[in-house]
Amino acid sequence: MSKFNKKRGKSSPAISTASLPDIIFMLLFFFMVVTVLRDTELKVQVNTPFATELTKLEKKSLVNFLYIGKPNPEFQDLYGSKPRLQLGDKFSSVADIPLFLEKHKVKVPEAQRDAITSSLKVDGKVTMGIVQDVKTELRKSGQQKVNYSAKRKESF
């Protein structure tokens, strides 16, 4: 008589899928809470120029974006086709820049306020007149760190 019996016909039990919907909903809820949606809708056309020497901004929370470009076609009836300044989610004038900067500065911890950078996303076809006005107003408001956004040019 043999001591070891061969197990024939027995297979491993099936994996229970009863908790699978719970796991899926927990993952869905997690990603819904963690995901940050775009806070501004671009109302101007911004096709930034190309550059070769670029540096990446480290902390996006310390950057406020100013968009300058021609209004999108759906806004051209109301605002015309001349280049406009967009601060946050709305069209603004150059005189609105100090208030925009102050609203951003309040959200940043006091220790990091010196590291705030204003990034100009300017369309490549915009004349320098409005850009110079924006830079002058930034300087008057005490914003010394100004950055021009650009796309990386492929070097050969």
Nearest-CA neighbor of 108 among 156, 50, 55, 63?
A: 63
Structure token digits, residue 107: 């959200």
**Degrees, nearest 5: CA angle 82-119-93:** 40
What pLDDT does 7 receive?
64
The two structure tokens encoding residue 39 = 């806070």
54-108 pLDDT, tens per residue? Answer: 888 888 889 999 999 999 999 999 999 999 999 988 999 999 999 999 999 999 9
Q: How confident is the model at residue 155 (pLDDT cuts 50, 70, 90)?
A: low
Maximum alpha-carbon separation in the chain: 101
3-state secondary structure the chain: CCCCCCCCCCCCCCCCCCCHHHHHHHHHHHHHHHCCCCCCCCCEECCCCEECCCCCCCCHHHEEEEEEEEECHHHHHHHCCCCEEEECCEEECHHHHHHHHHHHHHHCCHHHHHHCEEEEEECCCCCHHHHHHHHHHHHHCCCCCEEECCEECCCC
C-alpha span between 31 and 39 (Å, rounded): 17
Query: How much is the pLDDT for 60?
Result: 86
Provide the whole-model pTM. Answer: 0.74
* Averaged pLDDT, 18-45: 87
CATH label, 44-152, candidates 2.30.33.40, 1.50.10.10, 1.10.10.1100, 3.30.420.270: 3.30.420.270
